[in-house]
Amino acid sequence: MHQPALYSRSNDMQRESVSRVLREWAGRLRWSREEQEAVLDVGCGPGDVTAQLLLPRLPSSVRVLVGHDVSEEMVRHAAAAHAALAPRLRFLCTDIAARDLPATPLGACAQQLQGFHKVFSFFTLNWVLDQRTALCNIFSLLRPGGEALLVVVANSPLHDAFLALQKHPRWASYTHDAISLIAPYHYSSDPINDFSAVLQEADFHIHSCRLERVSYNFPSMQEISNAAISLNPFLKRIPEELKTKFIEDSMTEIQREMSKVLSINFNETFERNNKTLSYSLISAHVEKITSS
Ligand SMILES: C[S@@+](CC[C@H](N)C(=O)[O-])C[C@H]1O[C@@H](n2cnc3c(N)ncnc32)[C@H](O)[C@@H]1O
């Protein structure tokens, strides 16, 4: 995920889910009539979801929307692409699992704003191994009474495919740490229970935490390939001359895994040209309850 332009051309699948979740959930959040609120988007990527899907859903009283990402390339791209919306929309670079959050640009920004009223995060926390620190950080970034809407992939055939690449002798040395790069709930038999446990450890009050099965129909194989390349955590390690072969082998694994899910869920036969990706998504609405 270090190619912002490719990612923002290839994230229709994520955009479809974010739009649906925002339509359904944004109205459940409590917005203040008196206060000008500050909002954070954790893992904003190239900023298109932040600027085009999240910002238009926020009340006009929101004074600032901050997008942050661990990737400098993503943040640079987001800031340049959406400069016209500054200073109400701004971007900065910080790891949400940073151990010393107050010393980071995001920590400094939160301090200046006296905390965020709302935090959103879409398709990001599943890339963070240290769930506990990330969620404690989100808790500490919120003001008392602040709310968060968190959308996290529980498991996906894409992650199975990334893991399968470890078994290829040619790719094993580049993908040896796949397990630490795929979704933390991938092998969980009860992702809601596991995610809820971390939320509670971070002291959140859980209003709702649910798991849903989502299917996305890609218009073409090329679009599956683009989405998979834009999400592939190993690609930047692969030597230039091996990249084409690596992408080809990744696609074979992805198609195999996509078809497996189809045949389990819909009893369909293995279909090499299947273009439906079926994955599980956690959506959680949580609050930092004001202490009395
Ligand atoms: C799949 S993209 C999602 C981007 C955007 N939220 C969307 O819905 O299209 C995941 C983003 O999370 C970022 N990310 C991964 N680990 C992170 C971390 N520890 N802290 C902040 N951002 C992180 C990646 O750099 C990437 O831009």
Distance of CA 249 to the CA centre of its chain: 25
Number of folded domains that form the chain: 1
Q: Would residue 58 count as lying in a domain?
A: yes
117-to-86, 198, 244 alpha-carbon distances in Å:
19, 21, 45
Q: Is the pLDDT of residue 266 over 50?
A: no
Q: Would residue 109 count as lying in a domain?
A: yes
Beta bridge partners of 120: 41, 149
Q: Would residue 166 count as lying in a domain?
A: yes
User: Model confidence over 182-227: pLDDT tens digits?
Assistant: 778 988 999 999 999 999 999 999 999 999 999 999 988 888 888 8
- Where would I find the beta strands (DSSP E) of the chain? 38-42, 64-69, 89-93, 116-122, 142-155, 205-217, 276-287
Nearest ligand 1 atom to the CA of 121 is: 6
Q: Is the pLDDT of residue 29 over 70?
A: yes
Question: Does the pTM exceed 0.85?
Answer: yes
Judged by DSSP in three states, 277 sits in strand
What is the CATH number for 69?
3.40.50.150
**Atom 17 in ligand 1: residue holding the nearest Cα:** 70
- The DSSP code for 73 is H
CB contact at 8 A, 79 and 85? no
Q: Is the pLDDT of residue 50 over 90?
A: yes
33 pLDDT band, cuts 50/70/90, is confident
Q: What range defines the domain where residue 89 resides?
A: 4-287
Q: Would residue 292 count as lying in a domain?
A: no
**Ligand 1 centroid distance, CA of 267 (Å):** 34
Identify which of 59-63, 230-234, 259-263, 270-274 has the greatest average pLDDT: 59-63
Listed in sequence order, the DSSP H helices in 82-205 are 105-113, 131-141, 157-164, 172-175, 178-181, 191-201
